Amino acid sequence: MKKNNAQRILMVTSECFPLIKTGGLADVAGALPLALKAAGAETRVFLPGFPDVMKATAGAKRICKLGTIAGGPAQLLSYVSKAGLDVIILDAPELFDISGNPYLDEKSQDRADNHLRYAIFARLAADIALGKLIDWQADVVHCHDWQAGLTPAYLKAETGTAPKTIFTIHNLAFQGLFPKDIFNGLGLPDCYFAADGVEYWDQVSYMKSGIMFSDWITTVSPTYASEIQTDEGGMGFGGLLASRGHTLSGIINGIDTDIWNPETDPVCVKGYSSKKLSDKAVTKKALQQKQGLRAAPKAPVFCVISRLTTQKGLDLLAGAVDHIVHLGGQLIVLGSGDKTIEDAFLAAAKRHPTEVSVTIGYDEQLAHMLQAGSDANFIPSRFEPCGLTQLCALRYGTLPIVGRVGGLSDTIIDTNAAAMQAGVATGVQFFPINQTTLAHAIDQTFDLYAAPRIWNKIIRNGMKQDVSWAAPAAEYLKLYKSV
Ligand code: ADP
Ligand code: GLC
C-alpha cells in the first residue's frame, strides 16, 4: 500500500490552526505537519469535526462511512488546505456539534461527556493508523495532550503489529481525569486499570494513558522536560515521568514564519525588518490610536496576548499596572480567562483610560497588531511548557519580559551583565515569579528603553533568532525514525 519511502505520520490533535484554536497546541498542529512535509514526510492530521472545523472545510470529501456513533451518523472526511495541510476530519455531530469552547461548557466547567468524546476520537485514530478505515496507514502516530492520550493504549492493546506512538505533553495541568466507572466503556483490557496503566488515584487519566503506553514522550522544551520530572513541576506525575526519563525528551516549538512576518503582515501599516526598524513606529502610532490611547511615540507600549490565568502570572501583572503607568508606560491587554484577572485589568483601564486598554476576547488580527505595534510583551508565567508569544515577539522586534521557567528560559537570553557584554541578550527574564521580581523586571525594561541604542541592539538580536519550525521538525523526524 505504501507507494514511496516517505515516513507516514498521523498527528492526533483536538486543535489545528487555522481550523480551530484555543491556544498554542493549534499553532503547533497547524505548522509542524507543513514543516515535516517540507522535510519529506507524509503527514496527516486527525481532527474532530467541531463546528468551526466543519465550516472552514466545506467541500471536504467523504473517505469512510462509519455507521452510527453516539446515536448519530458519522463519517471521515478528507480535506487539504491551500497551504497543503492534509486533514482527516471526524464528522460525528452527536459528539462534536457543540458550540463554544471544545472542552468547557457555558459555565466554564469541563463538559460532562468529554470522556466519551475523546475516547471515541482516540479509538478511531488508532483504527486509521492501523489502516482499518481508509486506504492509508501510519508508520508513527504522534498524539498531542490528553485528548489523544488513549490512542497509545489502544495501539498497545493490539495483538498484531501496530505503528509506534509518540505522545507530546503540551501542558501537564490538563490531565483528562474522569471517574473510574467510565473505564468499562473504553474497551481496553481490564488490566489497564492499574497503577501501571490509566489508573490515577482511583480515577482514569487520559494524560497518564499517553505517558504510560506511548513508545516515546516528548514535551515542548528541554527545560519543561526536566521540570516535569520533579515533584514541584510534575503536577502529580513527577515520579512517573522521572521513571520514564530515558524515553522522554524536550523539543522546542517553532512558529509559522510566513504567518508571523513583520515584513509582509497586513496589520503593519509599513512592513519592517531588523534593517528598517524605524518603520515599526508607524504601526505603534496606529495601534495607540486604534486602542484609544494617548498618542505618545516615546512612551513604551507593553502588551499581553494570552489566556488570562494564574499559569500565565497575569494576576501579578494586574497588580503592577499602576507602576507601569506611573513610570510613563502604556499597556494593552488582549485575552480572556479567569474572571478575577479580567476584572482587575478592566478596573485598571478604568483608572487609566488614556494609558491602558483591555480587550476581553480572542482576536487573531489584534494579536498580530499588538506584536507589531508594541515595544515589549509580557509573559510572566509561573510555568510555561514552551510558549509561542515570546517567539512571535522576538520575530517582531518586541522585547519579551518573561518568567525564567520552561520554554521561556530556553528561548530568551536574559539581559544580565554577561549576556549584555557578549552582546547576545534578547529579553528580560525574572525569577522567582512574584510581585517584587516582576516590578524589578519592569524597572529594568524602562532603563533599557531609555537607551535606544542598547534597546535596538537587543531587539535586533531577537529578530535574528531562528524561530521557524525547520530545526524542530528535523528533530521530530529523527525521533520518528528512531522509534
Ligand atoms: P498557551 O497555549 O498556553 O495558551 P502559547 O503561547 O503556546 O500559550 O500559545 C498561545 C497562542 O494563542 C499564541 O498563538 C497567541 O498569539 C494566541 N493567543 C492567545 N490569546 C489570544 C487572544 N486573546 N487573541 C488572539 N490570539 C491569542
Ligand atoms: C500549551 C502550553 C504552551 C505551549 C503550547 C504549544 O498550551 O501552555 O506553553 O507553547 O502548549 O506547545
Domain boundaries, the chain: 8-254+469-482, 274-463
Torsion sign (Cα): 225, 228, 232, 238:
negative
Question: Which residue type, as a one-letter code, is found at position 113?
Answer: D
Rg (CA), the chain: 23
Q: One digit per residue, pLDDT tens: the chain, 483 residues?
A: 455 688 999 999 999 999 999 999 999 999 999 999 999 999 999 999 999 999 999 999 999 999 999 999 999 999 999 999 999 999 999 999 999 899 999 888 999 999 999 999 999 999 999 999 999 999 999 999 999 999 999 999 999 999 999 999 999 999 999 999 999 999 999 999 999 999 999 999 999 999 999 999 999 999 999 999 999 999 999 999 999 999 999 999 999 999 999 999 999 999 999 999 999 999 999 999 999 999 999 999 999 999 999 999 999 999 999 999 999 999 999 999 999 999 999 999 999 999 999 999 999 999 999 999 999 999 999 999 999 999 999 999 999 999 999 999 999 999 999 999 999 999 999 999 999 999 999 999 999 999 999 999 999 999 999 999 999 999 999 999 999
**Ligand 1: centre distance to CA 340 (Å):** 19
Pocket test for ligand 1, best of 103, 307, 377, 381 (most atoms within 8 A of CB): 307
Question: Any idea which residue has 507593553 for its cell?
Answer: 302
Nearest ligand by distance to the CA of 334: 1
* Rounded-to-integer distance, Cα 13 and Cα 95, Å: 16
Helix (H, G, I), strand (E, B) or coil at 101: coil
* Most distant CA atoms of the chain, gap in Å: 68
Can 8-254+469-482 and 274-463 be said to share one CATH topology?
Answer: yes
Pocket test for ligand 1, best of 306, 310, 311, 408 (most atoms within 8 A of CB): 306
**Ligand 2: centre distance to CA 414 (Å):** 21
Give yes or no for a contact between 331 and 355, defined as CB atoms under 8 angstroms apart: yes
For residue 415, what is its C-alpha cell?
A: 539581559
Q: Name 278's Cβ contacts closer than 8 Å, sequence gap at least 6.
A: 272
Q: What is the CATH number of domain 274-463?
A: 3.40.50.2000
**Topology, domain 8-254+469-482:** Rossmann fold (3.40.50)
Question: Which residue type, as a one-letter code, is found at position 3?
Answer: K
Strands of the sheet with 330-337, listed across from one edge: 356-360, 330-337, 301-308, 376-379, 399-403, 428-430
**Ligand 1: centre distance to CA 406 (Å):** 16
The angle that helices 206-213 and 114-129 make with each other, rounded to 10 degrees, is: 30
Predicted local distance difference test score (pLDDT) of residue 5:
80
Strands of the sheet with 164-169, listed across from one edge: 61-69, 72-80, 86-91, 42-48, 8-12, 140-144, 164-169, 216-219, 248-250
From residue 154, give the alpha-carbon distance in Å to each of 36, 159, 191, 357. 25, 10, 13, 48
* Rounded-to-integer distance, Cα 409 and Cα 223, Å: 7
Predicted local distance difference test score (pLDDT) of residue 1:
46
Residue 374's nearest CA partner among 438, 448, 286 is 286
* Helix intervals (H) in 319-416: 321-326, 339-351, 364-373, 389-395, 406-411
Beta strand pairing call for 248-250 and 216-219: parallel
**Ligand 2: centre distance to CA 220 (Å):** 7
